[in-house]
């Protein structure tokens, strides 16, 4: 990890009850209508944050907001429309958000596309997983950085960018000659590449923030992964009828033996709020093979994610592909 070394028991016994008060803070969570994103929004709302549920579908977003408010009466929350598969949507949202003149204390880059059976494209012609999971969040972070910097200058608690990665990054490989998987599309290979890229960019963002001038240097970059959780990301998508049945069955097994979406959200919540979380930290569950719950602690990082030269190249490629500069 790119941050300071921390013992694996850093989050021993840590639960959502340990989240410090988030009163007065604004938090944006992408993909907040379901799964880990929803659970993250729910717990932050319980602790008093004003939560922005960033969703691409208004109906699903409103349904999630209704569920959240039923669980947390008086919650300060709203739905904002954001489609990470469209850079036009991301930039338009960013401009509207900055136009409010408000600080943003937490940006939680959670939304993701996982392993569609056939190669799909975003509105901008990128492979759907790389375009959404990586490029969409890269541009969102870039356009919202001024709001995060505003929070760094205004509040004692440092603002954080939290990137939700995956244990799948350990099998990921970056193919700079075919980042868009045009020549060779394999669903899980493309997903693993996107998650490796997410983690590499989180570490690279940390390195760049550390050397930036104040108040930009006051922004933290932290990453987390949920282990293996029974979320809609696992069960939904372009699957055959047989595959859907199998995945539902696996979902039941995951729910019984591994993580629920609420448990899977704990590392994200730790990264977003815990005083013990450090710049450049990467956190995950500490159960078997980091797949299941238990204590939250420092997660294992595959060697390719620590390749600084590759990370710099990836960063430049993201800027080239999107036409947006970040630090």
Angstrom distance (rounded) from CA 90 to CA 97:
10
Three-state DSSP class for residue 240: coil
Quick one: 46 exposed, middle or buried, by C-beta within 10 A (0-12, 13-18, 19+)? middle
Helix/strand/coil for 263: helix
DSSP conformational letter for 183:
S
In this structure, are residues 195 and 299 in contact, taking their beta carbons and an 8 Å threshold? no
Q: Are 7 and 298 in contact (CB under 8 A)?
A: yes
**Residue 191 annotated to the active site:** yes
Q: Which of 38, 185, 191, 283 is catalytic?
A: 191
Helix H, strand E, coil C: the string for 90-137 is: HHHHHHHHHHCCCCCCEEEECCCCCCCCCCCECCCCCEHHHHHHHHHH
Q: Which residues participate in catalysis according to the annotation? A: 191
């Amino acid at each position: 990890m790119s941050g300071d070394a921390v013992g694996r028991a850093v989050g021993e016994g840590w639960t959502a009850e340990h989240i410090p008060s988030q009163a007065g803070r604004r938090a944006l969570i992408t993909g907040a209508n379901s799964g880990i994103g929803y659970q993250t929004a729910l717990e932050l709302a319980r602790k008093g944050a004003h939560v922005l549920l960033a969703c691409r579908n208004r109906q699903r977003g409103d349904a999630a907001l209704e569920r959240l408010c039923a669980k947390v009466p008086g919650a300060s929350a709203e739905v904002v429309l954001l489609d990470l598969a469209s850079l036009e949507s991301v930039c338009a949202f960013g401009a509207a958000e900055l136009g409010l003149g408000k600080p943003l204390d937490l940006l939680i880059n959670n939304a993701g596309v996982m392993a569609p059976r056939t190669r799909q494209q975003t509105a901008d012609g990128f492979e759907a997983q790389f375009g959404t999971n990586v490029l969409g969040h890269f541009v969102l972070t870039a356009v919202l950085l001024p709001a995060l910097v505003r929070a760094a200058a205004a509040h004692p608690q440092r603002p954080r960018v939290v990137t939700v990665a995956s244990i799948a990054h350990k099998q990921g490989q970056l193919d700079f000659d075919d980042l868009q998987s045009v020549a060779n599309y394999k669903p899980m290979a493309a997903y693993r590449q996107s998650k490796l890229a997410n983690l590499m960019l989180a570490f690279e963002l940390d390195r760049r923030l550390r050397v930036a001038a104040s108040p930009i240097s006051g922004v933290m970059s932290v990453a987390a992964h949920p282990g293996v959780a029974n979320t809609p990301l696992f069960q939904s998508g372009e699957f055959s009828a047989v595959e859907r049945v199998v995945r539902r069955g696996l979902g039941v097994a995951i729910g019984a033996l591994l993580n629920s979406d609420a448990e899977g959200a704990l590392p994200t919540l730790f990264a977003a709020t815990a005083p013990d979380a450090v710049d450049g930290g990467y956190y995950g569950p500490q159960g078997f093979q980091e797949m299941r719950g238990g204590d939250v602690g420092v997660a294992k990082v595959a060697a390719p994610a620590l390749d600084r030269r590759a990370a710099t190249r990836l960063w430049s490629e993201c800027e080239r592909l999107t036409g947006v500069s970040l630090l």
